[in-house]
Amino acid sequence: MKVLLVGNGAREHIIAEQIARSAELYAIMSKKNPGIAELAQKFYLTNITNPEAVGLWAIKEDIDIAFVSPDVVLAAGVSDALENADIPIASPIKAAARIEWDKSYARSLMKKYAIKGSPNFEIVKTRKDALRVIKDLGQVAIKPIGLTGGKGVMVSGDHFGDIKDTMDYVCELLKKDKQVLIEEKIIGEEFSLQLFSDGKRISLMPPVQDHKRAYEFDLGPNTGGMGSYSTGKLLPFMCNDDLEKGRQISQAVIDALRKEDVEFKGVLYTQLMCTQDGVKLIEFNARFGDPEAINVLSLIKTQFVDILQSIVDENLSQVSFSEKPSVVKYLVPVGYPNKSIPDSEISIDKKKMWDSGAKYYYASVYENNGKIYTTNSRAVAVVGVNNSLENAEEKAEEAARCVHGPLWHRKDIGTYSLVQKRIENMGRLRA
Ligand code: AMP
Ligand code: GLY
């Protein structure tokens, strides 16, 4: 079976590994990911957001089933091009991925179908309205309407000191996008709930907690994600009802889309927050999280290609995972996220990595004369899976020591003290 994967990050590297377990991998990448290239039967370098280029190559290679992974590629309509070329596709078409690339659509859909869990919000088009909403809501989150690689959201108290700072950012976005989403700031602990959907049924993956802030103690700017952990079951600060509410919101949005004549097939990632008023929705993504994909795909027991086939055939059944803790850490270039120093050589001691039992996945790196170099983005993800969170974290740290070069990572992710802080925070809020 020939399976096409579109994308070239660390998330796609682990997807590639899953596909290659039971099928021939055909990969389309914008930059050569050395890990994916090694696993692929054949690969093609092109602009992956060009639907025509992807579609033509898929036809030429006689692809049996395709999986389109990154948000920008889904938003560009690459799944649609593959579908139009009669290639079975297990990823959302552009109209379904709109749930991610148009934040106002996601919020309006929730309102229309009375899906619970939305914070108070308003989409504004003028400075006057923005000021009124900000005064009305008090503490707010300001969100660009479109895709920003996880870096566009700014929050009162964290990024804005006062109304002037907030309005400066609002004006910047209004100038660019002509509209901006203003939400009530919600407080609590976040979790990522990823799930497979065949357009009707869903199958949940274990919840994961990502760490978006660049620096330890959750300080600094938002990033694409610095690392994540999962216990394989509930996260330590969650209760059963939080997961159930997350499941209900996710199923409700799949049902709402169907009522709008849009079938959501592929991976949905519902980003949620446990708050003192129950579970709230931060946003929907029409894809795996990165790094969260690495947690869940390290634990998946069902053959990935069989899941893709069942999405296409609309007969998805429950996917199984080992209930083991996992910790992912992203190694990023010096200066990341705002002043990254690119083009630095890095190397991995593969023998030592193998001996540690941990694994690594290449993210945004490039190869030149057999050597690996950094870009401005996250470079390598390492993952430790073990019988306890503490041991998984130690394993991830051991793996990080096997990667050499001018890189840094958050040492606190998955540690006892940080997880304990999260449990205490949630305890205080629930009390
Ligand atoms: P997003 O790009 O929507 O995933 O948002 C990035 C980060 O901003 C989230 O992970 C949250 O930490 C924060 N955030 C987004 N929306 C809100 C909100 N309404 N209240 C508080 N924080 C938020
Ligand atoms: N880890 C956050 C994201 O993939 O959007």
Task: Please state the pTM of the whole predicted model.
Answer: 0.96
Residue 318 placed within a domain: no
pLDDT of 187-205, one tens digit each? 999 999 999 999 999 999 9
What total number of domains does the chain contain?
Answer: 4
- Is the predicted pLDDT of residue 304 greater than 80, yes or no? yes
Residue 413, both tokens: 């992710």
Residue 126 placed within a domain: yes
pLDDT of 103-129, one tens digit each? 999 999 999 999 999 999 999 999 999
Domain with 244 in it: what CATH number?
3.30.470.20
From ligand 1's centre to the CA of 51, what distance in Å? 30
User: What is the domain extent for residue 258?
Assistant: 189-313
Decide which of 134, 155, 184 is a domain's last residue: 184
**Closest atom of ligand 2 to CA, residue 150:** 5
Is the CB–ligand 1 distance for residue 210 below 6 Å?
no
- Is there a single domain that holds both residue 45 and residue 161? no
Residue 102 placed within a domain: no
Closest residue CA from atom 17 of ligand 1: 141
Q: What is the distance between the alpha carbons of residues 292 and 386, in angstroms, rounded to a whole number?
A: 17
Q: What is the distance between the alpha carbons of residues 199 and 423, in angstroms, rounded to a whole number?
A: 35
Report the pLDDT averaged over residues 208-233.
94
Is the CB–ligand 1 distance for residue 292 below 6 Å?
no
From ligand 2's centre to the CA of 224, what distance in Å? 6
Q: State which of 15, 71, 210, 211 you would mutate to test the pocket of ligand 2, scoring each by most atoms of that ligand within 8 A of its C-beta.
A: 210
Decide which of 72, 89, 106 is a domain's last residue: 89
Percent of the chain residues topping a pLDDT of 70: 100
Pairing relationship of beta strands 42-45 and 24-29 according to DSSP bridges: parallel
pLDDT of 398-417, one tens digit each? 999 999 999 999 999 999 99
From ligand 2's centre to the CA of 297, what distance in Å? 15
Return the pLDDT at 157: 87
Residue 101 placed within a domain: no
pLDDT of 337-371, one tens digit each? 999 999 999 999 999 999 999 999 999 999 999 99
- Is there a single domain that holds both residue 195 and residue 175? no
Q: What is the distance between the alpha carbons of residues 288 and 308, in angstroms, rounded to a whole number?
A: 14
Q: Which residues are bridge partners to 329 per DSSP?
A: 227, 382
Range list of β-strands (E), 55-97: 65-68
- Is the predicted pLDDT of residue 225 greater than 90, yes or no? yes
Sheet holding 345-348, edge to edge: 365-368, 371-374, 345-348, 403-404
Report the pLDDT averaged over residues 93-110.
95
| Model confidence band, residue 332 (pLDDT cutoffs 50, 70, 90) | very high
- Is there a single domain that holds both residue 9 and residue 82? yes
User: Which contacts qualify for 348-354: CB closer than 8 Å, 24 or more apart?
Assistant: 348/372, 348/380, 348/402, 348/403, 348/404, 349/402, 349/403, 349/404, 350/402, 352/401, 352/402, 353/399, 353/402
- Is the predicted pLDDT of residue 150 greater than 80, yes or no? no
- Is there a single domain that holds both residue 216 and residue 304? yes
Residue 98 placed within a domain: no
- Is there a single domain that holds both residue 281 and residue 171? no
From ligand 2's centre to the CA of 270, what distance in Å? 10
Residue 401 placed within a domain: yes
- Is there a single domain that holds both residue 199 and residue 177? no
Is the CB–ligand 1 distance for residue 283 below 6 Å?
yes
- Is there a single domain that holds both residue 233 and residue 216? yes
Decide which of 40, 72, 89 is a domain's last residue: 89
Closest residue CA from atom 5 of ligand 2: 289
Kindly identify the ligand whose nearest atom is closest to the C-alpha of 283: 1
Domain with 32 in it: what CATH number?
3.40.50.20
